[in-house]
Chains A and B, each alone.
Chain A
Amino acid sequence: MRSLPLVWLVLTALALAGAGLFFRAESGPEAIPFVHPLLAILAVTVLLMAVRILKPLLDRNSDDHDAD
């Protein structure tokens, strides 16, 4: 039951990806099949990886609390 929203999300995403095949530009990046889903997946993955890499580097361990 808990995974029902995920099922709907997957179905919607697949339906949109399928519809996207019918709406492609004649040239340019938007002529590539599935360019929008690929962009979204890539962006989310890169961002989450960046968060994991940068978090320990940029964490000031709350030493700024008395800065004001």
Chain B
Amino acid sequence: MPIELLPVLIFFAGALAVAFIGGRGAAAIAVLTPLVAGWSAWQTWPGEATFLWPVMDYHLSLRLDGMALVFAGLFHVAALLAAIYALGHGRRLELAAMLGYCGAGMGAVLAGDWLTLFIFWELIALNGVLLVWAGGTSQAVAAGIRYLVFQVTSGVTLLGGILWYGSTTGSFEFGQTGLAAPGAWMILIACGIKTGFPLLHSWIVDAYPRSTAMGSAILVAVTTKVGIYVLARAFAGEALLVWVGLIMALWPLFYAMVENDLRRVLAYTLMVQLGVMVAAIGVGSDLALDGVTMHVVMDVLFKMLLFMVLGVVLLRAGTTRASELGGLARMMPVTTALLIVGVLANAGMPGTGAFESKKLLMASLEYGGYTGVWLVMMSLSGLGMLYIGLRVVWQGFFQEPAEPRQVREAPWPMLLAMGLIVAGLLVAGFWPALTDGLRVFGSTYDPFNGLKIVGQLQLLVWAVLAYVLLSRIGLGVPAPRDGAWLDSEWIYRRAIPATAGRIRNGLGRLRDLAWHVLTHRGYRAGDGRLSDTLSKSWPTGSMALWVAVLLAVLLVFGLGEN
């Protein structure tokens, strides 16, 4: 086993230690693990290199290059922030799962071959479901099972695609694959589930809001980002992804405006950012892939921040329903200030690190010849002020509450973790040269000019103004209320069970009908048991008739095949 795998193993060792030790020792180990793993990575990772690891007749491989190192470093940071955030309230199950989850994510992005990727792909799913179950409610358990179904489906589909690809091409090297390769569509669908393609996304909004405060924050950091990573590695430049990304970015907007649970609102807005990144992967230029790499970092930071803020709200107020919140800004001024920075970063405000990353993504679409897509994606920045600014900041923190309540400011570990993220976003925004290391594909596009800065500010301010004026004439967003909105999850939560029930009832009726026909034609009933009836001797004429029917069916289907 190559020594370069040591940081990943340290994460898994930390997870095991936390699971067995518990208590304050577990919290300390959870904080120390990413630090120790980071130190070992600093010592053992030589820069860009590939390492082979013989296992029986096969060679698993690790690949260290710019993109992999950025993602692996990001998962280190995310684990550290989550561990700090959970100090004082994190339970050992969720802490252990968090470390295992980040370790698996690191393994996946370091994989140099498809089989190594598959192993860590499944470990992400297993640790992820533990994070969902850590929520501890019956809804969390049910959502975790659904999460597992999606993730296992993704894993099995990936494995099928890998085996098809490997057996046809004779290579399991994980790299640019393209949709024309054998098995590529299966790999794409597996990535689609992981990334949350439209119709495959429901597990995100189902599972993420059900986890604990820390669990929701860390869940946004790994699974979907590994999906983005594999898409960027294997399918960069596939134009189909531009259109998938566009639908992905537009699909959640309605739900972000009407959902009552603000954690579900955030889960939907996560999809918007993922959609923009998927579209850029479809362009596939160096500029686009630099934008994707940088935006993954920024997106993890500001989405973790936003979920952390709502975790604080859940801890202090006991709910994240917009209809039950309001007035928190007076009681949680520091948290409110941190939240506002997160919202501005989400909208790509100049002065935050997300401005540069978003502009890289936008420029890649513009220069890639997708002007229409660029116009739509640009307008989404303005809408970001609306669907998070209005929903989370205004309805949660500033509007008059339905019922006045007293809540305290967030505990210091939570404030520290959120403060570190805010500091990172602002430092990256005001000193963009510090993020040059994230441009691993070597693009040189510079968005720091009057046109881009003023243009972005116009988008944000005019979107707010337009909303305020429209709401003054009664066209604003209706008051939040509990409800279930028809989304793709309706397919498996309602349509499939209902259809299965109808099929079961139909088969039952068919059985009763057959039973009725058999018993009323003089055959002996067999004391009410179908098995006895079937064991009776059958008239030759009846048998011949049924064989003829079966042959006719085969003939029809056989002709259909041709």
List chain A positions with a Cβ less than 8 A from chain B.
6, 9-10, 12-13, 16-17, 19-20, 22-25, 28-30, 35-37, 39-45, 47-48, 50-52, 54-55, 57-65, 67-68
Once the chains bind, are B254 and A36 in contact (CB under 8 Å)? no
Interface residues of B in 239-263 (CB under 8 A from A): 253-254, 257-258
Are A64 and B484 closer than 8 Å at their CB atoms?
A: yes
Q: When the two chains form their complex, are residues B455 and A30 in contact, meaning their CB atoms are under 8 A apart?
A: yes
Report which residue of B143, B254, B462, B485 has the largest number of chain A beta carbons within 10 angstroms of its beta carbon. Answer: B462
Q: How far is the CB of B253 from chain A (nearest CB, A)?
A: 6
Take A23-B455, A47-B253, A50-B253 as given contacts and tell me if A37 and B386 are in contact as well, using a CB distance cutoff of 8 Å. no
B465 A42 Cβ-Cβ under 8 A:
no
* Interface class of chain A by DSSP: helix
Query: In the complex, what's the smallest C-beta–C-beta distance from A29 to chain B, in angstroms?
Result: 6
B459 in complex: contacting residue of A10, A40, A58, CB < 8 Å: A40
Interface residues of B in 405-457 (CB under 8 A from A): 449-451, 454-457
Question: Which chain B residues border A43 with CB–CB below 8 Å?
Answer: 379-380, 382-383, 463
Q: Once bound together, how far apart are the Cα atoms of A58 and B477, in whole Å?
A: 15
Bound state CA distance, A64 and B483, in angstroms? Answer: 8
A47 to B382 CA separation, bound complex (whole angstroms):
11
Interface contact A17-B462, CB-CB below 8 Å:
yes
Residues in B whose Cβ lies below 8 Å from that of A29: 366, 371, 374-375
Size class of the contact patch on chain B: 35 or more
CA distance A28 to B365 in the complex (A): 13
Report the separation of the CA atoms of residues A23 and B484 in the bound assembly, to the nearest whole angstrom: 45
The verdict on B520 contacting chain A, using a C-beta distance below 8 Å, is: no
CA distance A58 to B462 in the complex (A): 29
Stretch at the interface among B86-94, B160-168, B331-339, B468-476: B468-476
> Which chain B residue has the least Cβ–Cβ distance from A61?
B483
Min CB gap B535→A, angstroms: 42
Q: Which A residues are in CB contact (< 8 Å) with B458?
A: 13, 16-17, 20, 36-37, 40
Closest 4 pairs between A and B when the two form their complex, measured CB to CB = A43-B379, A64-B484, A40-B462, A36-B458
Give complex CA distance A12, B139 in Å: 46
Would you call B515 an interface residue if the criterion is a C-beta within 8 Å of the partner chain's C-beta atoms? no
Offer 13 A-B interface pairs, CB within 8 angstroms, sorted by A.
Answer: A12-B461, A20-B454, A23-B451, A29-B371, A30-B455, A36-B462, A43-B463, A44-B386, A51-B254, A51-B257, A51-B258, A62-B482, A68-B142
Supply 4 further A-B pairs (C-beta < 8 A) apart from A35-B455, A40-B460, A44-B467. A12-B461, A44-B466, A47-B386, A58-B254
A9 CB contacts on chain B under 8 angstroms: 461, 464-465, 468
Find B478's partner among A13, A36, A55, A57 (CB 8 Å cutoff).
A55
- Nearest-neighbour CB distance to chain A for B337, whole angstroms, equals 18
